Amino acid sequence: RWLVLRFLAVGAVLSLILAFSLPVRFTSQAELMPPDPQMFASTSLLNNIGTTGLFASPFSGSLLNNKTPGETAIGVLSSATAQDDIIKKLDLMQVFHAKFHSDARAQLEGRSAFMEDKKTGIVTISVSDRDRYLAYKIANAYVLELGQLVNSLSTSSARRERIFLEGRLASIKQELDTASVALSRFSSRNATFDPQKQ
């Protein structure tokens, strides 16, 4: 009995010492609804996002079609583009004492975790660090970065749609003008009405 009690006491003391010697880490979490799937239907911007983790660059249509909006959002957040923007905005090269961007990315990935709730589609962003304020800043930066990338996708998609419609209108106008000239020539040869005058 005394031997067992002694082992238990020593184990309890060692556990307490280990618990107090480990550095305290704070976790900041952000929950967000993934963007509309149609936002990711366009690959104009996604093709320029080099990713690590869920997706390989460039994005292909099949990959996007087989992923939920939450998984796509996590892929965007895990991309080198998003990570580099966050590293630059928060000056994490200096904070992490990293010489290379790859080292800073590795440290950022080690502090970050993303999870999707399959039932609700809500994406949870978790960032852990010894500095509670840094953890909060990084988690908030992920949210802002996703918003900026989605806005860029939306703007790019609207711009491409406008260019397509303008080109289609110009093509139709040219076809109508050609048809009108042809009808005018036919009318002048056959003494019928002139559409230009009428």
Over residues 26-36, the pLDDT tens digits come to 889 998 887 66
Residue 194 DSSP label:
-
pLDDT for res 168: 76
pLDDT for res 66: 56
Is residue 107 scored above 60 in pLDDT?
Answer: yes
Structure tokens at 170: 């110009």
The residue assigned the tokens 């010489």 is 99
State mean pLDDT over 168-194: 74
Structure tokens at 9: 């006491």
Structure tokens at 46: 């996604």
CA dihedral 143→149→152→158, nearest 10 degrees, is: -90
State mean pLDDT over 86-90: 93
How far is the first Cα of the chain from the last one, in angstroms, to the nearest whole number? Answer: 115
Residue 128 DSSP label:
E
Does the pTM of the predicted model rise above 0.75? no
Closest alpha carbon to 126 in 114, 117, 137, 134: 114
State mean pLDDT over 107-116: 93
- Chain-centroid distance of CA 28 in Å reads 19
pLDDT for res 110: 92
Query: Do the Cβ atoms of 43 and 149 come closer than 8 Å?
Result: no
